Amino acid sequence: MRAVVQRVASASISVDGKVISSISRGLMVLVGIGTDDTLADVETLTNKILNIRVFDANGTMWKSSVKDIAGDVLCVSQFTLMANTTKGNKPDFHRAMSSNASRELYATFLEKLRRLYVPDRIQDGQFGAMMNVSLTNEVWDVATPAFLCGDACCLHRDLLL
């Protein structure tokens, strides 16, 4: 699994011109699911998303998690994160899990987030739909948004052992 995690002041998802999900301060998470992803990857990624400290507290950067600030999380399934672009100019999506299988694993991912946190604070888009994603970065004095990109496999093997 791959995730792009962005600290936001607000974010929303629209389908066919209608807002279907929105959050205030929290995290926007784009999630790509690969052919070899498992429930262990779901476990790793959900824990990392909810506990990674990307928010300020009492003037100290990188001090609080989304749970610490009672923030929201907006998730979007994004198979394009699994693209291989090393050869040629056309993305290769062979590493992306099939639609039906990834729908199940993504649903499990959302259920796990909701079990570990406040269910109403976990929002998501519409799986497989053409979505318009809007977000407003929450920035620091140096005007750099908190942005992280991680591969659950790498996080699991390298950082959590």
Domains and their CATH numbers in the chain: 2-159 (3.50.80.10)
The per-residue pLDDT of the chain, averaged, comes to 88
Is residue 104 classed as helix, strand or coil in its secondary structure? helix
pLDDT value for 69: 97
Q: How far apart are the C-alpha atoms of 33 and 64, rounded to whole Å?
A: 27
Tokens of 91: 């993305």
Structure tokens at 87: 């050869």
Structure confidence at residue 138 (pLDDT): 82
The pLDDT confidence band at residue 149, using thresholds 50, 70 and 90, is low
- pLDDT above 70 covers what percent of the chain? 86
**Residue 93 annotated as catalytic:** no
Task: Check pLDDT > 80 for residue 160.
Answer: no
Report whether pLDDT(28) > 90: yes
Do the strands 60-64 and 18-23 form a parallel or antiparallel pair, or are they unpaired?
unpaired
pLDDT band at residue 35, thresholds of 50, 70 and 90?
very high
Q: What are the CA-CA distances from residue 153 to residues 111, 115, 139 (Å)?
A: 20, 22, 29
Quick: pLDDT tens for 68-112. 999 999 999 999 999 998 999 999 999 999 999 999 999 999 999
Residue among 114, 143, 155 nearest 5 (CA)? 155
Which pLDDT tens digit goes with each residue over 118-129? Answer: 999 999 999 999
Q: Which of 80, 136, 144, 147 is catalytic?
A: 80
pLDDT for residue 60: 86
Pick the closest to residue 50 from 66, 61, 36 (CA basis): 66
Active-site residue, selected from the candidate residues 6, 78, 109, 123:
78
pLDDT bucket at 148, cuts 50 / 70 / 90: low
Overall size of the chain counted in residues? 161
Which amino acid, residue 51? N
- Is 147 designated active site? no
What's the whole-model pTM score?
A: 0.86
Catalytic residue among 6, 55, 79, 123: 79
80 is catalytic: yes
b/e per residue, 101-126, with b = 16+ CB within 10 A?
ebeebbeebbebbbebbeeebbbbbe
Contact present, 45 and 29 (Cβ < 8 Å): no
In terms of Cα–Cα distance, which of 95, 107, 124 is closest to 28?
Answer: 124
